[in-house]
Every structure is written in C-alpha cells, then in structure tokens.
Structure 1
Amino acid sequence: MKKNNLVIKLAILLISLASLALTGCGGTNVQRLDAAEEVALTDRWNATDSRLVSEEMIDDMLSFPWVSRWAEANPNRNRQPTVIVMGVRNRSHEHIAVDTFINDLRRAMIRSGRVDFVAGGDVRDALREERKDQEFNATADTAAQLAAEHGANFALSGSIDSWVDQLDGTRVTNYQIDLTLLDIQTGRQVWMGQKKLQKQQKRSKFGF
C-alpha cells in the first residue's frame, strides 16, 4: 500500500514538473521592433553606436576645407572628390562588426552628396573580374570598358579602441574611434577625426 502511495506521489510530481516546463515555454514572447530604435541590453557596441558615430564623423570630415580646396584645384573635372575606404581596425576588447561600421560610413558619404565613393578590396576585385568576363562574353555595345574606373583621390582608414573601468557594481566601457583621410596623390593628411563614447552598466543581482 505504501509502495502504491509512493508511486502515485512520484507520478504527481512528474506531471507538475512537466506542466511547469510547458508553462515556461508557452510564456516566451517575441516582439518585432523598429530597426531605427535603440535597444541597449548591455554596454557593448551596438548598431545604433555604429550609425550615429559614422554620421557624426562624416559630417565633421566634410566640414573641413579639403573638399573646397580639391574643387578649386580641379575646376575642369566634372565630378566631386572620390573617396575609398581602406579599412577600419578593431583593436577593442570585444567583437565588433567592422564591416557594418564601414558600410555606415559609406552610406553617410553617399547621402551627403558632396563626395563620390568607389569600392575597394574584394568588391573592387570582383568588379574587375566581371569586366574581364564581359570583354569576351558580352556584346560590344553593352560590355563595361576596361581601364575606365574612377580613381580614388582620398583614402579613409581608422581604428576602434576600447577600455573598461569597473568599481563595485558599476562598469563603464569607453570607446575611441579614430579616422584619418589621406590625399592619395601627395600622402598628405587632410582630416583626422576622433569620437569617444562612454557607456555605463550597473550590475544586477545576477552579475554583468
């Protein structure tokens, strides 16, 4: 009799645990958010940081006199100064999607309407291979010409650094973004920009 009671109690316990597990799964809530809205769950670098920093730094870059000086020195050119992004190094303590930041920089430059932008790296190499392929496989009136690229006049490059200050239950993560614009012809530095971010996070009872 006692054995039967034990079996019944174990069965009730297992059913209760199963019910709790199902309730927990059923309580999961997924919400679609606006991509332009910042959702900061931690003090880590996020998509909003990437977008705001790129827009602010490109605005600052275009406020310097190199744009007007290039126009004055090249009055007969029917185009604006052309910029290529050489790369941005991530020297921070965390993984940062550098390609996303570079794309945000490119988007900010194109949106400004004050400079032209040319692709570099793997994209440029792929375009060159495509033009070679078109030379042999496309009709003469539709094939893209070889040696007809717009050469870049200026090269943009930079780095992202970070360091962390922590005391008791508070942590402050610092980011420093440095960008430099060089005249490709002369090697002269025509602009240097720097942006610093501080993000504070307080420890919960479960830790950081």
Structure 2
Amino acid sequence: MKYHKITPLLLLLAAGCSFTRYGNPEDTETVNAAYGRTDLQTFSDAMVSSLGESPALTYLAGPGKGDDMRVIVYMGGIRNLTTEHLDTGGISDSIRTSLIKSGRFRFVAGDQGQTEIGDQVRFQQGSGRVDPAQAKAFGKQLGADVIVYGSLRSITKKKARSLENLGVKTKDVFYQFTLNCENIETGEILWSEQQDVTKQQKTSLFGS
C-alpha cells in the first residue's frame, strides 16, 4: 500500500480556496435583524398590490392627455429614517418597475432621467449633427398627475445576556414603511398605505 505525503504547501493552497455559487433570488434570505432583500420585496409587493387596486387611481382626466386617461406618475423619494445606511432607491425602483409592467400607469422621468434627457436635447439642438426635422425640443414632456413618495422608519430593542435567558442576546427590529400618492395640482392625498415588518435575532452564549 502506498501513502502519499501531503505537503504543507498543498494544505495551505486548499485552505485558501474559495467557492462561489448562485442563489435563487426568490428564496427567503438568511434571517437576521438587518434590513435585507426579502424585506424590500415584501414592502414592494404590498405597496404595488394596494396602489394598483385603488379606485381613485383608475383614471385621471387632464388637458393634453388625449384618449389615454391613465394616471401619469412621478416617482418621488423614500426617506430613510432608520438608523441603518440603506439605499431606499431600491424600493422606489422595484415599485416603479412593477407598476409600469402592470400597464395601469404612465411614468415620467425622475432626476437622473431628466439630466440624461437634458443632455440629449442640447446635443440634438446644438451639435449640428442631427436632422433639424427630427431634433427634439424642450417643452413637450408629459406633466405628471401625481407624485408617489414615502418613508422607512425603524425601532430597535435589545436584550442583553443574563442567567434568566441562558446567556442568549436578543435584538428586535420593527420596520414601518409608509407610501403616499398625492395629486400634484390639488395637493390631495389620493392613496396611502403602511406596511410593517418585525424581525428578531437571537445570539447564543458563544455567538458574537
């Protein structure tokens, strides 16, 4: 019987190997108290469902809209009022994408889109490279009927280790997401929804 000697170098190389695999984005992520992908999807799905079913947002007449009376939406910001450094733009993007796919709403460009549009219009008008008959001009954009905006808040409670809880440390985080849809011309709030998520993380005596 032959025995192969494993050198320290091979052991070091094996220890240094890393492995990466693809996960299913539809799966529920590993639960901890921090805000994550599953929370984003929970908030987005709830808001899209509620907003899409609102009778006040079925149609909205207005000058210059022609026969298409679908509500024209400007997607405003979502204020992060939590203690975490969160990119709430991900929630806005998810909600807007789902509403556009539903076919019930029309959307106008946000700040980033307006910057890109402005650059392109100035190029078409002033570069001399675009056929004047096809060059786009300012002053012809759709005017939004409503603005959608909201806020994300959190409350955190911690319970330290003790003999009573067998050395288990507990952290509870309550997230509250509120979204509003307001008529730009009248200032009337046509729709409002609130979604809550509570998360708990327990760390054993030997955890960090």
In structure 2, do the counterparts of structure 1 residues 97 and 187 end up closer, same or farther at CA, with 3 Å as the change threshold? same
Deviates more, 1:196-205 or 1:152-161: 196-205
Q: Which range moved further: 90-99 or 183-192?
A: 90-99
Matched to 1:98, the amino acid is T
2:74 equivalent in structure 1: 84
User: Which moves more between the two structures, 34-43 or 96-105?
Assistant: 34-43
C-alpha contact (below 8 Å) 1:109/1:117 kept by paired residues: no
Which residue in the other structure is 1:25 paired with? 16
Contact 1:83 1:152 in 2 (8 A): yes
8 A Cα contact 1:132 1:146, kept in partner: no
Match of 1:70 among 60, 65, 78: 60
**Contact kept? 1:40, 1:46, Cα under 8 Å:** no
Where in structure 2 are the equivalents of 1:43-54 lying within 5 Å? Answer: 43-54=33-44
Larger displacement relative to structure 2 (177-186 or 139-148): 139-148
Per the alignment, residue 100 of structure 1 pairs with: 90
Q: TM-score, normalising length from structure 1?
A: 0.80
1:163 matched to which residue of 2?
155
Give the drift of 1:99.
1.6
Identity of aligned residues (%): 24
Aligned-residue Cα RMSD (Å) equals: 2.7
Deviation at 1:190, TM superposition (A): 0.5
Structure 1 unaligned runs (5+)? 1-15
Q: How many residues align?
A: 193
**Is residue 156 of structure 2 the alignment partner of residue 132 of structure 1?**
no
Q: Choose 1 or 2 for highest CA Rg.
A: 1
Corresponding letter in the other structure for 2:16: C
Paired with 1:123 and 1:72, the residues of 2 have a C-alpha distance of: 24
Q: Which residue of 2 aligns with 1:5?
A: none
**Unaligned stretches of 5+ residues in structure 2:** 1-6, 160-167
* Aligned with 1:36 (options 23, 26, 29): 26
State the 1:107 CA deviation.
0.8
Pairing 1:58–2:35 present: no
Match of 1:192 in 2: 192
Q: What is the identity, as a one-letter code, of the residue corresponding to 1:42? A: N
The residue type equivalent to 1:200 in the other structure is Q
Query: Is 2:103 the partner of 1:113?
Result: yes
Query: TM-score normalized by structure 2?
Result: 0.80
Q: CA deviation at 1:39?
A: 2.1
Give the letter aligned to residue 163 of structure 1. Answer: I
Moved over 4 A (4+): 16-23, 71-76
Deviates further, 102-111 or 16-25: 16-25
